[in-house]
């Protein structure tokens, strides 16, 4: 076996891969400058007052660093971090089991917090405000309530759909932060940093090309880098040039604008099957064979940001840029609309 391919097979799993690339300090976290400034102030104030951080909510599309920031904040406060998700907390007992294992100043990170069930959410309110939890034991005449006193902890919630959070839950967070897509120059720095950690010799044009195609998200950039690294090992390339990047990404159908196979399928479906739209989310999901939630949370935000589609009260419609992308002449009515 080629020794380089053997080295690739010995690489860590995806979770370890992401952990190795994850910044450990606020100063190492690239981008989201306004949010970093706020968090720095909170951390410094908490250390001076010797209090835990207030509860924090991070919102925004997937892959922008919500989980990474939770890891960083726990390290900045020299505290432990426990991670769970909204769907996993389907019973109050599950929530109680996690909360009772926390120690003072610990962090609890709940991903997809908008998917918490309403009964569990009700139990979370006193835990966030008063650091206590009242558990109902048994049913009927034998029912009794037990109060659990909790240590002072910090809840960090993450959501891709902040509009689905109830107002009582949203109002209990001390600071709400929306993470935005990254600028090209920020992504270039992230790609260069990750390539150094992965010991990939990559020139600047190659790094810029990866940054252009990663859909504005560091997670996607790191996943593309992993594929490019594997491709270069298998092909025997010592250095990562622009040609290597182009050939590697062409193999997985990531085009020059960062659109993948599903993105182009969405555009083609709206143009050819629904005559440019409008089309409802459910109908579009059935037509492309994808989950509606995945379309709305993963694919749509980037297509809207880049100006390929837009949402209207009647449904999704494509723009003239989508017709240009597909090299199709738009209908005359579409030209007048846009």
Is residue 255 among the annotated active site residues?
no
Q: Is the pLDDT of residue 325 over 80?
A: yes
For residue 215, the SS3 value is coil
Q: Give every strand in the sheet of 154-159, ordered side by side.
A: 81-85, 107-111, 154-159, 56-59, 175-178
| Binding residue positions for DNA | 311, 316
246 and 301 Cβ atoms separated by less than 8 Å: no
Q: How far is CA 179 from CA 222, 261, 264, 302, 316, in A?
A: 18, 26, 26, 14, 24
The alpha carbon of residue 276 and the mean position of all alpha carbons in its chain are separated, in whole angstroms, by 29
Within 10 A of 254 (CB to CB), how many other CB atoms are there?
23
Tell me which of 66, 208, 215, 226 is the catalytic residue.
66
Residue 298's nearest CA partner among 220, 228, 222 is: 220
For residue 145, the SS3 value is strand
- Provide CB contacts within 8 A for 29, sequence distance 6+: 23, 36, 65, 68, 69, 72
- The band of 107, judged by pLDDT with boundaries at 50, 70 and 90, is very high
Fold (topology level) of 261-337: Arc Repressor Mutant, subunit A (1.10.10)
116 and 110 Cβ atoms separated by less than 8 Å: yes
Dig out the tokens for 52 from the structure.
């835990």
Q: What share of the chain is helix, strand, coil (3-state, %, to 5)?
A: 55, 15, 35
For residue 78, is it left (φ>0), alpha (ψ between -120 and 50) or beta? Answer: left
Q: Is the pLDDT of residue 11 over 60?
A: no
Is residue 321 among the annotated active site residues?
no
| Binding residue positions for Mg(2+) | 67
Residue 83's nearest CA partner among 124, 115, 112 is: 112
Is residue 111 among the annotated active site residues?
yes
Given this structure, which CATH class describes domain 182-251? mainly alpha
Within 10 A of 48 (CB to CB), how many other CB atoms are there?
8
Q: Is the pLDDT of residue 338 over 50?
A: no
Residue pLDDT, tens place only, 41-99? 999 999 999 999 999 999 988 889 999 999 999 999 999 999 999 998 888 888 888 99
- The band of 18, judged by pLDDT with boundaries at 50, 70 and 90, is low
| Binding residue positions | 21-22, 63, 66-68, 129-131, 172, 182, 219, 311, 316
Residues present in the chain in total: 338
How far is residue 86's CA from residue 110's CA, in Å, rounded to a whole number?
Answer: 6
Compare 211 and 258 and report the one with higher pLDDT: 211
| Binding residue positions for ATP | 21-22, 63, 66-68, 129-131, 172, 182, 219
Q: Is the pLDDT of residue 309 over 80?
A: yes
Q: Is the pLDDT of residue 267 over 70?
A: yes
Start-end of CATH 3.40.50.300 domains in the chain: 32-178
- The hierarchical CATH code for the domain 32-178 is 3.40.50.300
211 and 258 Cβ atoms separated by less than 8 Å: no
Q: Is the pLDDT of residue 261 over 90?
A: no
197 and 167 Cβ atoms separated by less than 8 Å: no
Q: Could you give the angle at which helices 33-49 and 66-76 cross, rounded to 10 degrees?
A: 30
Residue pLDDT, tens place only, 134-184? 777 666 666 667 778 889 999 999 998 888 889 999 999 989 999 999 999
Give the per-residue pLDDT at 140.
63
Tell me which of 213, 219, 226, 229 is the catalytic residue.
219
Residue range 18-37: mean pLDDT, rounded: 86
Start-end of CATH 1.10.8.60 domains in the chain: 182-251
Dig out the tokens for 307 from the structure.
């100006």
Residue pLDDT, tens place only, 198-233? 888 889 999 999 999 998 899 999 999 999 998 988
Give the per-residue pLDDT at 143.
65
How far the first Cα of the chain sits from its last, in Å, is 56
Type and span of the H or E element at 109: strand 107-111
Tell me which of 67, 217, 220, 269 is the catalytic residue.
67
Dihedral sign (CA 318, 324, 330, 334): positive
Is residue 269 among the annotated active site residues?
no
How far is residue 202's CA from residue 238's CA, in Å, rounded to a whole number?
Answer: 10
Tell me which of 111, 159, 229, 319 is the catalytic residue.
111
- The band of 7, judged by pLDDT with boundaries at 50, 70 and 90, is very low
How far is residue 257's CA from residue 153's CA, in Å, rounded to a whole number?
Answer: 43
How far is residue 263's CA from residue 258's CA, in Å, rounded to a whole number?
Answer: 9
Start-end of CATH 1.10.10.10 domains in the chain: 261-337
Phi, psi of 144 (to 5 degrees): -150, 155
Is residue 160 among the annotated active site residues?
yes
Mean pLDDT of the chain: 85
Tell me which of 106, 154, 159, 160 is the catalytic residue.
160
Give the per-residue pLDDT at 17.
53
Q: How far is CA 141 from CA 102, 123, 136, in A?
A: 32, 22, 12
């Amino acid at each position: 076996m080629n020794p380089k391919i053997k080295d690739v097979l010995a690489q860590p799993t995806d979770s370890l891969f992401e952990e190795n690339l994850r910044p450990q300090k606020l100063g190492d976290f690239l981008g989201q400058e306004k949010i970093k400034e706020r968090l720095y102030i909170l951390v410094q104030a908490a250390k001076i007052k010797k209090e835990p951080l207030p509860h924090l909510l991070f919102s925004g599309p997937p892959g922008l660093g919500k989980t990474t920031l939770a890891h960083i904040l726990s390290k900045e406060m020299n505290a432990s971090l426990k991670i769970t998700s909204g769907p996993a907390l389907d019973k109050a007992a599950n929530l109680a089991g996690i909360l009772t294992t926390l120690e003072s100043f610990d962090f609890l990170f709940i991903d997809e917090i908008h998917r918490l069930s309403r009964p569990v959410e009700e139990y979370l309110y006193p835990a966030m405000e008063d650091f206590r939890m009242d558990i109902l034991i048994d049913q009927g005449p034998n029912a009794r309530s037990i109060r659990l006193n909790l240590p002072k902890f910090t809840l960090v919630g993450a959501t891709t759909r902040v509009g689905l959070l109830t107002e009582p839950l949203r109002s209990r967070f001390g600071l709400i932060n929306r993470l935005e897509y990254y600028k090209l120059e920020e992504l270039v720095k992230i790609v260069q940093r990750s390539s150094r950690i992965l010991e990939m010799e990559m020139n600047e044009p190659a790094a810029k090309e990866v940054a252009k195609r990663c859909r504005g998200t560091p997670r996607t950039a790191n996943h593309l880098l992993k594929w490019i690294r594997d491709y270069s090992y298998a092909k025997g390339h010592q250095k990562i040039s622009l040609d290597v990047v182009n050939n590697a990404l062409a193999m997985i159908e990531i085009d020059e604008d960062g659109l993948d196979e599903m993105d182009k399928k969405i555009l083609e479906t709206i143009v050819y099957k629904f005559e440019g739209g409008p089309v409802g989310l459910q109908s579009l999901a059935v037509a492309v064979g994808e989950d509606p939630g995945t379309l709305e949370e993963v694919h749509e935000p980037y297509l809207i940001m880049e100006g390929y589609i837009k949402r209207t009260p009647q449904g999704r419609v494509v723009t003239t840029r989508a017709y240009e992308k597909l090299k199709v002449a738009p209908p005359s009515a579409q030209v007048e609309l846009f």
